[in-house]
Structure 1
């Protein structure tokens, strides 16, 4: 078997792992697949006769490609076309395979993808490779042209962003999460009765101008009206999952890892009293967002 054929077999063997690395680095399956194609072109032109750990070497090749993509994205202040055309509430213009994109985002965690998107390219690489794929800092450092200790500090800084600030000691995050996830399940499943059971009779839903593209914010009061409005808006909501928002459990909608809408909840005596739907970029930017354990 010649070297090229052997390398192609090894690349195919490790493809699922390499795609997982690329997806967490870039937040989009279509971009991840493009990165894998570029990585294969680079790998196929390299001399691998002295490579003893082919899986680790291929991971390095993919990571370098993704790092270049992230740096180029930041330099041009651009987002992938997939993100620009996606409707955060309806998901009506998703490119590629939307079902697979949503399934993959759900499996990784929408909140994690959002937080990763706030990191610098170097922080993201260090955190993803070390914390998510157990790559030693000594192997990551050369990719970033930094020392292992400096690379460790990058990952540590990223880790603090992912975990966020500690919530107030009196907040029962477990119970909040149960209620918020029940809300998401009820709205996605169009279970009106289950949703009503979660809402205070005088519950209020407030949506800012950017949510509905209206001249003024929209407010809906009363459990039945809130339930109907929430079900209509969330029926086809994709890329949605729980996150820690300003120390409390909420929901984020983030197509391809880019935060577009956040829902915060006020919960009193296990009933939702207020839902705030936020889409204005300035407000989203002020939210303290972290990943729930």
Structure 2
């Protein structure tokens, strides 16, 4: 029987700048234990980011959950975003540890795991290898370090993902408007047209019950009423109905979010147009849920749970008018 050969490791020096960022993130936490975890997570992610930079492989720290102050405080996040490819889990390994705990929540864009070995000195770390998501079962809670494959396997895997991303799709629907990235709201990055509720409603702002770390924005939407012709063929058009679409996102786990939709009249009268419909559509355009306003309703609402990177649409329908907003979590 031939002896097993451990995958080669790679040493990454840790700069003073990386420690400064890690200290800043750690100081934001509620206790020393959480602060230490965030500190190590930050250095692990930074080390993998630097390794990929050496190889001219693009990664985006700012889009990673580990660089998001809200998700950092709520969950044990140590991910690194590779644009158009997915997320790498960069998990710290302390001296003497033989396994790493795997995140309990699944992520649709997770690529795999890169354990990062720390020693007594924090001036350098070792990248121990790679395990793809295909090598880990959904029920698996820990990853044994002895089962890791080499970092060359990671590079091969990334090449395959890049080739698949560039391959022509059999069916690709055109999208004229970029979707609203709701998870970016947790970083206080808001698209044009979405404003604070108080800015739109002023003193008339509805009362909302917020969940922990919930972020809420509102967009004003005009429903142009259909034109009608009199017997003298003179066109008559009533004033447009101004609506307010309120969207709230609140993190429930690292990769699962609560989405709360509400529709109000942003002007007078306070009642919504009768038979106004609020529809939630899947990414394929199929109706997931539909709510209809009665004659005296002043608002519509619907609440559901969505996964990270999940896409959906919100459609407001009245008579023969349809206004659609696209979202990605």
- So what's the TM-score if we normalise by structure 1? 0.32
Report which of the two structures shows the higher radius of gyration computed on alpha carbons.
Answer: 2
The structure with more strand, counted as a fraction of residues: 2
The structure whose residues are more often helix, as a share, is: 1
Instruction: Pick 1 or 2: higher relative contact order, CA cutoff 8 A, min separation 6.
Output: 1
